[in-house]
Amino acid sequence: MTEFDFGALLTFWGRKYDDILALVGEHLLVVALALTFATIIGVGVGLLVWDRPIGRSLAVTSAAVILTIPSLALLAAMIPIFGLGWIPTLIGLTLYSLLPIIRNTVVGLREVAPAIMESAKGMGMSPVKVLMSVQLPMAWPVIVTGVRVAAQLTIGIAAIGAYVGGPGLGQMIFQGLSSLGSRNALNYALTGTVGVILLALLVDAIFNTITKYTTSKGLRA
């Protein structure tokens, strides 16, 4: 077994600095793209089904079923159709991000007090106007929390994307695991793992800031 040597790890980081930064950039990019697609789809679905019991149940259950599929199995199943690389990774991450976004969109919209919506209608607002101008802004903190949870899931699962030639820090983790016993195997694996953890903390802090500055003062706890 290769023993951990912190000095050797620092030397490894210095030598692989450019490669590490490139992989961090790829990891962030594929996560950002997946979250963007998932947010558009998830919030859109939530807006369509929040007040429809059957549609709501079907949407949440379908997204939950997708999340139960092992990531390796899902990514491997897409290889014959989409090949290797970015596309299967991006599709897989988007699918895995849907549940918390759909669920939180539905919950956020349903938590708006009926009296508030009735007051808005009494002011002459149409149902669509009430939804977009009253409910959606009030549900925003809950929706952002769903996206925040999806981001944490996606950052971790993105590392598995290296299995299908996907981008990101997972490449270092897999390289380390595939070369166990070699001089830098542990350095590769540790670098990829620590990088994923740090990215998760960074993105969580970013979403915390977004929530703070995009939520109406009247809705802040």
Euclidean distance between the first and the last CA atom of the chain, given in angstroms as a whole number: 51
Residue 123 has pLDDT above 90, yes or no: no
Is residue 113 very low, low, confident or very high in pLDDT (cuts 50, 70, 90)? confident
| Contacts of 110 by beta carbon, 8 Å cutoff, 6+ apart | 50, 51
Q: CA-CA distance, 162 to 158, in Å (whole number)?
A: 8
The token pair at 182 is 């070699």
* pLDDT of 107: 93
| Contacts of 122 by beta carbon, 8 Å cutoff, 6+ apart | none
- Residue with tokens 């925003």, as numbered in its chain: 140
* pLDDT of 220: 58
- Predicted confidence (pLDDT) per residue in 69-81, tens digit: 998 899 889 988 8
Q: CA-CA distance, 155 to 203, in Å (whole number)?
A: 9
Question: What mean pLDDT do residues 210-219 have?
Answer: 74
* pLDDT of 54: 93
- Predicted confidence (pLDDT) per residue in 82-110, tens digit: 888 889 999 999 999 999 999 999 999 98
Greater confidence, 216 or 43? 43
Is residue 7 very low, low, confident or very high in pLDDT (cuts 50, 70, 90)? confident
- State the DSSP code for 111: T
The token pair at 112 is 């708006």
Q: CA-CA distance, 218 to 221, in Å (whole number)?
A: 8
The token pair at 121 is 């209608």
- Predicted confidence (pLDDT) per residue in 20-40, tens digit: 999 999 999 999 999 999 999
- Predicted confidence (pLDDT) per residue in 53-63, tens digit: 999 999 999 99
- Predicted confidence (pLDDT) per residue in 130-181, tens digit: 888 888 888 899 999 999 999 999 999 999 988 888 899 999 998 888 877 7
Q: CA-CA distance, 155 to 21, in Å (whole number)?
A: 16
| Contacts of 196 by beta carbon, 8 Å cutoff, 6+ apart | 27, 155, 156, 158, 159, 169, 170, 173
* pLDDT of 136: 86
